[in-house]
Amino acid sequence: MQKESIKFESSTVFEGMTSIRALIKGIDEGVTDRRLEKLFFDRDRKQKIYKELGYLRAISEKYGFEIVESDAHELEKITLGTSHGGLVLLASDRTLPRLTESTPLKPDGFYVMLEGIEDPYNFGYCLRSLYAMGCDGIILTERNWMSAAGVVCRSSAGASECLPIYVTDGNDVIEIFKVAGYTVVSADEHTDNILGECALTLPLLLIVGGEKRGISKKLLSDCDMLVKIDYSREFRASLSAASATTMFAYEIRRQNKTK
């Protein structure tokens, strides 16, 4: 548990080929400014990963990373699990630009602000669904789980490194999007508006909060519309942020997929 808590605080250790490919894609598309620094591979798995290793050797000069032979014991010291498949990449930190009035927003975009999510895996699952459903960018407050980038990348299946991400103090985020012509919608249970029964037309900013802390009152009060997920039976608990985000993202895509 101590090992996980340390990794949650700060990690730019990317485990497995899915995460590594996402890093490369993010760099190629200009989404991230990370530098790839050092690739470790497990010598005992060399035959199993020879194709991946051959590809990484071929691009190592272009992306400027060193390749180092290692073993399972050494890799265990720097990783959280064993799902890395014998490939672990160290990278630099990523600069997250601040959301401002001059931030270029897509004219018919779909952006999501995630606030108060307390678990990096839940956060990563949110990003996975949002990327799959066509989200154009993520807005985060200053305190966020991108500090545990390796954990988030693994749980998001690489989506965290392929999505544009901006940070804000939360005070002017809604105003910035409204000035750009966006409708601002928040997931909240204290409303009569039901997901699937109200229009969620692009351009749109969706705000989703964590199960415990939820969304701040200031953000809720400034939204154009609050929308809830209607349960089929009495259920006093909340869905996980990842589950709620997935449901909202799919409905938004369903309503706007011809655009």
Domains of the chain: 2-91 (3.30.1330), 110-256 (3.40.1280.10)
Give the residue-averaged pLDDT of 25-52: 95
pLDDT number for residue 114? 95
pTM: 0.91
Classify residue 126 by burial, with Cβ atoms within 10 Å: 0-12, 13-18, 19+: buried
Give the residue-averaged pLDDT of 227-244: 88
Tell me the pLDDT tens digit for each residue of 43-58: 999 999 999 999 999 9
Highest-pLDDT range among 35-39, 230-234, 235-239: 35-39
CA 132 to chain centroid, in Å, comes to: 11
Give the residue-averaged pLDDT of 74-95: 87
What's phi and psi for 243, nearest 5 deg? -65, -45
Please provide the average confidence, as pLDDT, over all residues in the chain: 91
Q: Give the residue from 170, 259, 257, 255 showing the smallest Cα distance to 221.
A: 170
Q: What percent of the chain has pLDDT over 90?
A: 71
pLDDT number for residue 127? 97
What is each CA distance from 56 to 9, 92, 177, 218, in whole angstroms? 28, 18, 40, 47
Is pLDDT at 23 greater than 60 in this prediction?
Answer: yes
Q: Give the residue from 7, 11, 154 showing the smallest Cα distance to 87.
A: 154
**pLDDT band at residue 211 under the 50/70/90 scheme:** low
Give the residue-averaged pLDDT of 85-95: 94
**pLDDT band at residue 2 under the 50/70/90 scheme:** very low
pLDDT number for residue 85? 85
Tokens coding 83: 């799902």
Classify residue 136 by burial, with Cβ atoms within 10 Å: 0-12, 13-18, 19+: middle
Is pLDDT at 19 greater than 90 in this prediction?
Answer: yes
Residue-by-residue DSSP string for 99-113: P-TTS---TT-EEEE
What's phi and psi for 3, nearest 5 deg? -60, -45
